[in-house]
Amino acid sequence: MRRSKTSRHPFSAETIKRLSLYVRNLRQLQAKDTQVFSSSRISQFLNITPDQFRKDLSYFGEFGKRGVGYQVSTLIEAIERILGLDKAWKIALVGVGRLGSALLGFPGFSSFNMKIVAAFDSDKGKVGTVQDGLTVLPIARMKESIRENKITIAMVCTPPEVAQEVCDILIDAGVKAILNYAPVNIKAPREVFISTIDMACELESLIYFINR
Amino acid sequence: MRRSKTSRHPFSAETIKRLSLYVRNLRQLQAKDTQVFSSSRISQFLNITPDQFRKDLSYFGEFGKRGVGYQVSTLIEAIERILGLDKAWKIALVGVGRLGSALLGFPGFSSFNMKIVAAFDSDKGKVGTVQDGLTVLPIARMKESIRENKITIAMVCTPPEVAQEVCDILIDAGVKAILNYAPVNIKAPREVFISTIDMACELESLIYFINR
């Protein structure tokens, strides 16, 4: 379930998601010492047509050479630059429950220049404990800590009842993008990007397709 | 990051994801005692145009009445039937690490007729323990248990190195749809639906939009 506010762009949010996918697959190609590839090969490792691949890239420039193909390392760098992954991004995590704790331990962020640098919880039993190298801070310290560390991205893993309140504080402190795992619609100013992930939604799509 | 094999359908996988979203919002309307609504109101609670809403529904039939609007309860039932949520779905979970454990405790599945009925892990320290009412079974019992229970959906939260092997066993046992949380491409026969969720991908889309 996602509701990124992307209607102001000529391409869909799905294009951006596919770029993330491309960069992962290109890195795998690179790890196998492949230096050049043609777009026709993309279907071999992704359920994507060569046309879709070329169209997605075309929004951002020209990256391949006719008759030669794409230089893997150049294309990786280009997509990482498009996505903003050439810079380091600091993330705040709110709600160190089971999901929050799983996200704290997720090894996949660092290879894309993202790092959870602060974790917050309202539970006094959790505040002060160290999880994956971070000391859990109380919600009362959140605003100050986010401002001090100039954090612009947050992941919210709180119960639904408090998610809106938490998001209001985050936005007030300067957060521009929130990945919300609480099953509730978050209201936010137009310039703040909210993406809500609902584990059950992901399953529903699969159920639809196997049910037919 | 998702790669559902949906190219054989006239509408995109995003249509189905939006149906999941609609049904959640309709339930919220229903909880507030709203019985009828017009599609023009959909933009009030979702970042969706009325046109998109009507187009998504149009693939599946006629649900609204001109000049009257949509009956909330009827539309909820219709969408749940379209999605297959009028039936109960049994789910197997493989890998009871931090993420797997968070999914086991996720309260949002049951309200959509989905239930995790079996959990598996290769760790001897976890096998035999009870988590959220389920006894964790060894991987060696997986094939038999999935066949016996006629489970067709699985969530895979294993390390990437073993995810393909686990999926092979699941598919062999009769699983038709897999939600894969391991950061690796899963190869599967055409008739099996694989959707890979990458926590970092979700963040990358947000980063793209705030980076501009």
Closest residue of chain A to B48, computed from CA coordinates: A3
pLDDT tens digits, A13-41 = 889 988 998 998 899 889 989 899 888 88
Q: Which two tokens stand for residue B16?
A: 């189905």
pLDDT tens digits, B92-113 = 999 999 999 999 998 889 989 9
Backbone dihedral region of B183: left (phi > 0), alpha (psi from -120 to 50 degrees) or beta? beta
Which chain B positions have a beta carbon within 8 Å of A195's beta carbon?
202, 205-206
Minimal Cα–Cα distance from A84 to chain B, Å? 6
**CB distance A204–B105 less than 8 Å?**
no
**Spatial separation of the C-alpha atoms in residues A199 and B5, rounded to whole Å:** 19
Looking only at Cα atoms, what is the longest distance across chain A? 63
Give the up-direction half-sphere exposure of residue B161: CA atoms within 13 A in the CB hemisphere.
Answer: 1
User: Based on the number of CB atoms within 10 Å of its own CB, is B130 exposed (0-12), middle (13-18) or buried (19 or more)?
Assistant: exposed
Mean pLDDT of A55-72: 89
Task: Given CATH 1.10.1740.10, say whether it is the number of domain B13-83.
Answer: no
Please report the pLDDT score of residue A186 as a whole number.
Answer: 92
Please name the member of A84, A200, A201 whose beta carbon is closest to the beta carbon of B207. Answer: A84
Start-end ranges of CATH 3.40.50.720 in chain A? 89-201
**Spatial separation of the C-alpha atoms in residues B183 and A159, rounded to whole Å:** 27
Which chain A positions have a beta carbon within 8 Å of B99's beta carbon?
99, 102, 106
The CATH number given to B89-201 is 3.40.50.720
pLDDT tens digits, A86-100 = 999 999 999 999 999
Calculate the CA A200 to chain-centre distance: 19
pLDDT tens digits, B6-25 = 445 667 778 998 899 899 88
Per-residue DSSP letter, B68: T
Start-end ranges of CATH 1.10.10.10 in chain B? 13-83
**CB distance B106–A199 less than 8 Å?**
yes
Backbone dihedral region of B203: left (phi > 0), alpha (psi from -120 to 50 degrees) or beta? alpha
**Spatial separation of the C-alpha atoms in residues B142 and A199, rounded to whole Å:** 23
**CB distance A200–B91 less than 8 Å?**
no
**Mean pLDDT value across chain A:** 90
Q: Please check the confidence at residue A2 and state whether its pLDDT lies above 70.
A: no
